[in-house]
């Protein structure tokens, strides 16, 4: 088979190897890297495989075809994906309902999987004479902490986290600012969209990019998306083993990386049926699918803060894969949930099921609950639980009237001191801070 090349969603950058696409993060024309074709995988060949590392070897082999990292997929997967990602049944549900639990990593959020895979990949791309990298990370809550945990104390890289002031939960902010050493935390006086814009501006600024050798660890980086496919592979195979049917997923959606990973997993041949994107009050995607007008807008702060995105980057990948609007509407559907519905769903599902949701998972649970009864009955649905509720204790605990047990990995981070720098939402302020 010929090597897969990675091309920009905007079509003006030269094709790249996967290794170079991972190292660069963003294409030179400002676009996002995608493979020039999707390798197919026979799901039947995966039935006897257990654990994410084993599945990653099989599923990602085609994406690495001909790349210098191809022979090292196994060790990358062993180092990054040796984390639990169970698909658990909601026993009290009358309909076949499951939860894909992605909050068992070191920072109790799904971003741990992609960040760790990216760090292990980049580690193996380094040559002794290579200059140090500066990885810029715009975060609406969980990405920054996961990237910091994955790259902390790796001497060849500097992590610069940009997060919006006052728009992340207190425990999320603690995870963004507790690291020190090779991790610098910048609190931006603006929204997540300002943080994301600053990262993109820095990448295309010739002076800054040549001086600091930038790369990215956001879901714009192809190295984040590929491993996220693997837990959808594992979950869909598990659901088919248990029900004999394809799994349907409801996915909390912000920058669309997690949802897009599910789309790719289905496209390469996994037993996945419907994919429903659950948004908070940031309605850019649901409105686009409804009226056909792509209108990015300033983000709105919500209880589900990690999804507060008004201009989701990965829509470029979705629209390239499905250039016709009707095709896109067939591929995914989207719904929007306000804060009061999130609160009520946290209360209701704890009463009904005894399950504790973070605000993001509650968004997915609310969208699932709105599906017509005929779509839920007899069809297996999977709610994607993207974060542990203990990260949002100030929201969840008053609603449930009880304390949420804190995972030890999170408790350790909560004990560390904070280090942060305040910056204005402009490139000059960012440049001064990273100097």
- As a whole number, the mean pLDDT across the chain is 94
Is 2 or 230 the better-scoring residue by pLDDT?
230
- What token pair was written down for 108? 């109790």
Query: For 234, what's the count of Cα atoms within 13 Å in the CB-facing half-sphere?
Result: 27
Is pLDDT above 90 for 220? no
Q: What percent of the chain has pLDDT over 70?
A: 100
Q: What is the mean pLDDT of residues 103-108?
A: 94
Is pLDDT above 90 for 435? no
Is pLDDT above 90 for 92? yes
pTM of this structure: 0.92
Residues 412-425: pLDDT tens digits?
999 999 999 999 99
pLDDT (0 to 100) of residue 320: 96
pLDDT (0 to 100) of residue 53: 97
Is pLDDT above 90 for 247? yes
Residue 81: which pLDDT band, with cuts at 50, 70 and 90?
Answer: very high
Rounded to whole angstroms, the Cα distance separating 187 from 195 reads 9
Is pLDDT above 70 for 219? yes
pLDDT (0 to 100) of residue 1: 52
Residue by residue, DSSP assigns 73-92 as HHHHHHHH--S---EEE-TT
The residue count of the chain comes to: 435
Residues 322-334: pLDDT tens digits?
999 999 999 999 9
| Locus of tokens 């047990």 | 405
Is pLDDT above 90 for 373? yes
pLDDT (0 to 100) of residue 167: 87
| Locus of tokens 């029900």 | 243
Q: What phi and psi values does residue 249 have, to the nearest 5 degrees?
A: -115, 140
Closest CA to 290 of 334, 338, 341: 334
Residue 338: which pLDDT band, with cuts at 50, 70 and 90?
Answer: very high
Distance from the Cα of residue 232 to its chain's centroid: 12
* Beta strand pairing call for 97-101 and 87-89: antiparallel
For residues 270 and 236, the answer to whether their CB atoms sit within 8 Å is yes
- What token pair was written down for 426? 């402009």
Question: Is the Cα torsion angle 408, 414, 415, 417 positive or negative in sign?
Answer: positive
- What token pair was written down for 347? 């209360």
- Classified as helix, coil or strand, 123 is helix
Residue 238: which pLDDT band, with cuts at 50, 70 and 90?
Answer: very high
Residue partners of 293: CB distance under 8 A and separation at least 6: 287
pLDDT (0 to 100) of residue 187: 97
Residue 193: which pLDDT band, with cuts at 50, 70 and 90?
Answer: confident
Q: What does R_g of the chain's alpha carbons equal in angstroms?
A: 20
Rounded to whole angstroms, the Cα distance separating 190 from 427 reads 13
Is pLDDT above 80 for 97? yes
Residues 387-406: pLDDT tens digits?
999 999 999 999 999 999 99
Is 140 or 163 the better-scoring residue by pLDDT?
163
Q: What's 30's DSSP letter?
A: S
Q: What is the mean pLDDT of residues 137-150?
A: 87
Could you confirm whether domain 74-109+223-407 is CATH 3.40.50.10490?
no
Rounded to whole angstroms, the Cα distance separating 200 from 162 reads 12
What are the boundaries of each domain within the chain? 74-109+223-407
Is 47 or 288 the better-scoring residue by pLDDT?
288
Print burial letters for 290-324: b (CB count within 10 Å at least 16), e (below 16): eeeeeeeeebbbbbbbbbbbbbbbbbbbbbbbbee
């Amino acid at each position: 088979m010929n090597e897969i090349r990675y091309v920009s969603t905007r079509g003006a950058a030269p094709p790249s190897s996967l290794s170079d696409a991972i190292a660069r993060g963003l294409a030179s024309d400002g676009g996002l890297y995608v493979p020039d074709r999707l390798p197919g995988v026979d799901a039947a060949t995966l039935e006897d495989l257990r654990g994410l590392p084993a599945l990653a070897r099989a599923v990602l082999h085609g994406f690495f075809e001909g790349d210098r990292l191809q022979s090292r997929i196994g060790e990358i997967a062993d180092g990054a994906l040796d984390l639990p990602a169970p698909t658990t049944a909601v026993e009290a549900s009358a309909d076949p309902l499951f939860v894909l639990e992605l909050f068992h990593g070191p920072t109790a959020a799904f971003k741990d999987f992609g960040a760790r895979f990216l760090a292990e990949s980049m580690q193996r791309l380094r040559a002794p004479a290579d200059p140090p990298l500066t990885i810029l990370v715009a975060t609406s809550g969980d990405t920054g902490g996961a990237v910091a945990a994955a790259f902390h104390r790796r001497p060849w890289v500097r992590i610069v986290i940009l997060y919006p002031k006052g728009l992340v939960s207190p425990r999320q902010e603690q995870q963004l600012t507790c690291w020190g050493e090779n991790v610098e935390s910048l609190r931006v006086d603006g929204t997540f969209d300002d943080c994301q814009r600053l990262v993109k501006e820095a990448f295309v600024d010739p002076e800054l990019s040549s001086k600091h050798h930038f790369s990215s660890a956001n879901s714009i980086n192809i190295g984040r998306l590929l491993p996220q496919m693997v837990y959808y592979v594992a979950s869909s195979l598990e659901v088919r083993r248990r029900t004999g049917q394809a799994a349907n997923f409801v996915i909390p959606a912000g920058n669309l990386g997690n949802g897009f990973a599910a789309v790719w997993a289905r496209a390469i041949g996994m037993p996945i049926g419907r994919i429903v994107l659950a948004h908070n009050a940031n309605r850019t995607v649901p409105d686009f699918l409804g009226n056909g007008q792509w209108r990015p807008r300033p983000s709105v702060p919500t209880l589900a803060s990690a999804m507060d995105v008004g201009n989701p980057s990965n829509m470029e990948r979705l629209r390239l894969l499905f250039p016709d609007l009707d095709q896109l509407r067939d591929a995914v559907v989207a719904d929007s949930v306000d804060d009061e519905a999130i609160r009520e769903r946290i209360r209701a599902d704890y009463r009904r099921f005894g399950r504790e949701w973070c605000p993001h998972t509650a968004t997915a649970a609310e969208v699932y609950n709105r599906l017509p009864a005929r779509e839920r009955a007899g069809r297996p649905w999977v709610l994607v639980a993207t974060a542990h509720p203990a990260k949002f204790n100030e929201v969840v605990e008053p609603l449930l009237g009880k304390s949420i047990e804190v995972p030890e990995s999170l408790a350790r981070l909560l004990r560390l001191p904070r280090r942060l720098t305040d910056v204005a939402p402009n490139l000059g302020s960012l440049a001064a801070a990273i100097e």
